[in-house]
């Protein structure tokens, strides 16, 4: 599923926009460059506001202890952590757009799916390959196919 303009805008908004990110993000290329330059730690607030729990941020993006150390040193996320944060917000935002309801989307992300071998979409999205499978499932749901 392509990374639409609306999805890009939503992910950037959830990351805190230009105020937090320090730059206007107008394209996927801009977002990729931002990830390679490392996203500020403050952008993690957007994951929590999007409905990801502290435990999920801890498990899927960056451990809390590491977060505290980075905050003390005023360091951003690593490239890998930045990539994981963007990926999770992309999947979460796509689920919201698909279900047109953040509560339903967040419930679905935590529901074990047979198509994912009994894993939750959130767990599958730990990897880019898994995230692409989740995007495909959401695309089927959006088009009304059995998923």
Give the pLDDT confidence of 69-113 residue by residue, as tens digits: 999 999 999 999 999 999 999 999 999 999 999 999 999 999 999
Q: Work out the pLDDT band at 2, boundaries 50, 70, 90.
A: low
How distant is the alpha carbon of residue 106 from its chain centre?
A: 12
Find all residues with CB under 8 Å of 55, minimum gap 6, and list them: none
If you search the block for the tokens 């509560």, which residue do you land on?
Answer: 103
Look at residues 116, 106, 117, 122 and name the one whose alpha carbon lies nearest to residue 140: 116
N- to C-terminal Cα separation, the chain: 15
Average the pLDDT over 42-63 and give the result: 94
Structure-token pair, residue 108 = 């679905």
């Amino acid at each position: 599923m392509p990374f639409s303009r609306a999805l890009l805008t939503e992910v950037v908004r959830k990351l805190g926009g230009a105020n937090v990110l320090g730059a206007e993000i107008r394209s996927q290329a801009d977002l990729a460059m931002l990830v390679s330059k490392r996203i500020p730690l403050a952008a993690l607030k957007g994951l929590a506001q999007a409905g990801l729990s502290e435990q999920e941020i801890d498990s899927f993006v960056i451990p809390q202890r590491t977060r505290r150390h980075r905050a003390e040193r005023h360091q951003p996320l690593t490239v890998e952590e930045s990539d994981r944060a963007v990926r999770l917000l992309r999947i979460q935002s796509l689920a919201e757009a698909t279900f047109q309801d953040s509560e339903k989307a967040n419930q679905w992300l935590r529901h074990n799916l047979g198509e994912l071998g009994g894993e939750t979409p959130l767990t599958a999205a730990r990897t880019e390959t898994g995230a692409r499978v989740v995007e495909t499932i959401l695309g089927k749901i959006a088009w009304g196919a059995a998923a």
